[in-house]
Chain A
Amino acid sequence: MQASSRVFLSVGAMAVLTGVFGLPARAAKSAPASSTAAPSGSSAVKVGGKIVVGVDLDPAELDPAGNMLSFTAVSVSNAIYDPLFVVPFGGKPIPTLAESITEAPDRLSWTLKVRAGVTFQDGTKLDAAAVVVNLQRQKASQLNGNAMTPIKDIAASGPMTVKLTLEKPDVAIPYLLSRGGQIGVMVSPAIVTNKADFKRNPAGAGTGPYLLKEWVPGDHLTVVRNPKYWGTPKPRLDEITFKVIPDETARLAALRAGDIQSMTSALPETAIDAKAAGLAVVVPPFAGYGTVLLNNAVAPFNDVRLRQAAALAVDGDVLAAFLKDPNYAKRGFGLWPTDSPWYVAPEKPFTFDLAAAKALVAAYVKEKGPAKFTYLSGNSSQTATDTAKLLVKFWKAAGFDVDLQSVPDGNQIVLAVVFGGYTAAGFVTGLAADPDPTSFPVLYSTSTFNFEKYKNPEMDAALDEGRSSSDLAVRRAAYAKVQQIFRRDVPFLVGSPATIRVISNPKLCGIEPSGFFPAKTAGYSC
């Protein structure tokens, strides 16, 4: 069974989206930057130029088996590494360092054929042994190991073929080996084994279009063109520097002043300002949702009535007008937007209903006491702060007793959420092309990324069915059920769409709507 005829999914990747909630994220990120329509040859490509890309965060590290989840880290990964597959937004896995992947007739193993003739930047040859080393590292990874559990065994079945043996059928495998979760990214086994500071200095470890030149943590990271790049398109820029400029306003000012040539933004109003200033704004399909995580394990949100009430109390029209985001209308009160092929409309419209919310809260209060909670939110931007205040206002109107705790650093929220030390918290949940990576990590009862501690065997069964079946109709039915249960149980609240916009000097071209900075295609002449 060829990957191209399959669905695709990304597993377990958290992308740090400093969105309107000003927060880090969990779950799947959809397709990373890739070239799906690579120009043939290089005659039309003019090479040259240096650019500075303003980013809000430093990479935590550069080891694909570690925490390479932020926008910057994935953008750098696009530049210096290649994955086995890439999955463009809404597309299917495209073999990159793999030549193909085939599912066995019994559906309990996949055979991956490694692309011939590729060498890592340090001169090490890419072969089956190298792929095995990489995938075993990922299986042993504290962060990605959970996503690798469907694979029981990884072994070279030939010099250029790798056999992946599964516990049970899993349609997710090709997507798992894409860049989305970093799991499919290949690094030189020689560097990984011998270089003690690999995760901080992986020079020579990749096969990508750029070479790591220097990384000054907290300040900038620079890559230079790899003149021996094996793939297409060939890199167009001589040098790309990712410059850390935490303040969004300062980033935009630097871009307008010409001190940087491109930047990222999660805020709709920044894009509006940038367009008004004559800058080019590339908006990818939205990559996830701002969410409000509700801790299902502790009061008051261990009571489904209050989770439902918290959702019903939010006036979406008011929020949409405030956020000025046209994507807001597409939210589907589930995990998929209304324009997703996996979206199933609810039997009964799920809309703002203050009276119903009040009734639910009143019933709870009469029975169990005050519906009191603290909402933990980021305040990295004025929009994030104002959005949090607006939500608190909605909930208070429904009868909740809410305290707002604003923190400047998303890491504080991550720690609170990961360790369960919260009642409600603003967060971001990723949205992938396939329904499995969107739903499984955040809803399955034993998943690492089920931060709201939601447990429902009925939901687990539906998620298992969607993951293991290769029948599209069966999968559609499974995810329709997931949506139905989600709307009934409200494990968390779905809020505003979150997406990373790339804003650039209009002279820059090749900025594909990927959700990350497309180092491979960006240039001054495309």
Chain B
Amino acid sequence: MRRAGSLVVVLFLVSMGSFLLTSLLPGDPAVAILGPAATPQSLAVVRHSLALDRPIPTQYATWIGRAATGNLGRSYQLEEQVTTVLARTLVVTVELVILAELLALLIGVPVGVWAAQRANQRFDKIASAVSFGALALPQFALAIALVLVFGVRLHWFPTIGFVHISDGLGANLRSMVLPTLTLAIPLAAFYTRVVRTDMVVTLRQPHIELARAMGYPTRRILVRHALRQSSLTLITVAGLQIGALLGGSLIVESIFALPGMGRLMIQRIGARDYTVVQGGVLVIATTYVLANFGADLLHSVLDPRLRHDPVSR
């Protein structure tokens, strides 16, 4: 309950931050809507309709009151409800983030575990070198390289565009291969390093030594005893990485022409379409907070001791 209460406070602060940040951006939204040749009278009408002529606390109260009922306002430029615009683009970004997160975990965790098991041996050294290389590679450069190899040269995957899942799962996944790889490769490298580092310490602990002495199979020791303990760090990091993935989607969606939230935000910020930007920032920030709240809850599931830790209650 206390965590849920904290979550409400955090979400309140997030909403206020989203609103204030976009309110403080330079430029006049009324001018962005009506154009530079607008008359002072028409600008005043638009400012009034957007509540821009009222104090910021009043503007915020109006906005958050509507947002609480699912009404994020209307984009004057797109002439659509903000929720409609966000829902259309959120589908793409959510799929991209989930696929990238899953792929990164599928690659990063086994490689990290095995590298820890083989610490300082050849596999570990190769995994480390590849991980550092992948982490050092700028995302846009990786995207272009993937496009040139798998799109231009081999023609295996499309280089642009998004196929909706309703148009076929195969086509949908095919359209997401290169964007997903762009996000997942550096993330997998990061997870490899996190898991490897944590597991090396875990594998030296007495209960692991005991398991080995008792003759448990290596796989069981690694997965059931060591990884479970090390997964607490991994879950925390994975939760935090949701933010990085959402940030990375800005670049990836632009390069691969995916109609997602990242690209929408870039376009709408440029267009001074504040209602969409405010709604989008709120959705992204809330997603991030909820993902980390979920990670927090998962900690308690994996380590029951945390449920009884007075600090965490």
Contacts and interface: CB of A to CB of B under 8 A. Distances in A.
Interface in A215-268: 216-219, 243-247, 249-250, 253-254, 256-260
A418 B36 contact: yes
Interface of B: 26-27, 31-32, 34-39, 77-80, 85, 88-89, 143-144, 147-148, 151-152, 155, 158-162, 254-257, 259, 263-264, 266-267, 269-272
Interface string A270-294: 0000000000000000000000000
B160 A218 contact: no
Given A200-B79, A243-B257, A246-B254, A411 B270 contact: yes
Nearest to A61: B77
B258 to A, nearest CB: 9
Nearest to A277: B152
Instruction: State the majority secondary structure of interface residues on A.
Output: loop
B151 A146 contact: no
Contact of A146 (B27, B37, B161): B37
A248 to B, nearest CB: 11
A54 interface: yes
A417 B240 CA distance: 40
Nearest to A200: B79
A200 B36 contact: no
Interface string A169-212: 00000000000000000000000000001011000000000000
Interface of A: 54, 58, 60, 66-67, 142-143, 145-146, 197, 199-200, 216-219, 243-247, 249-250, 253-254, 256-260, 409-412, 415, 418-419, 448
Task: Name the residue among B26, B27, B79, B159 with the largest chain A CB count within 10 angstroms.
Answer: B159
Given A218-B264, A250-B256, A411-B270, A257 B38 contact: no
A143 B37 contact: yes
A259 B158 contact: yes
Contacts of B266: 246, 409
A436 B31 CA distance: 29
B147 A253 contact: yes
Contacts of A448: 36-37
B78 A245 contact: no
B151 A253 contact: yes
B147 A419 contact: no
Contacts of B254: 246-247, 250
Contacts of A247: 254-255
B46 to A, nearest CB: 12
A257 B155 contact: yes
B167 to A, nearest CB: 14
B259 A218 contact: yes
Contact of A145 (B37, B161, B162, B255): B37
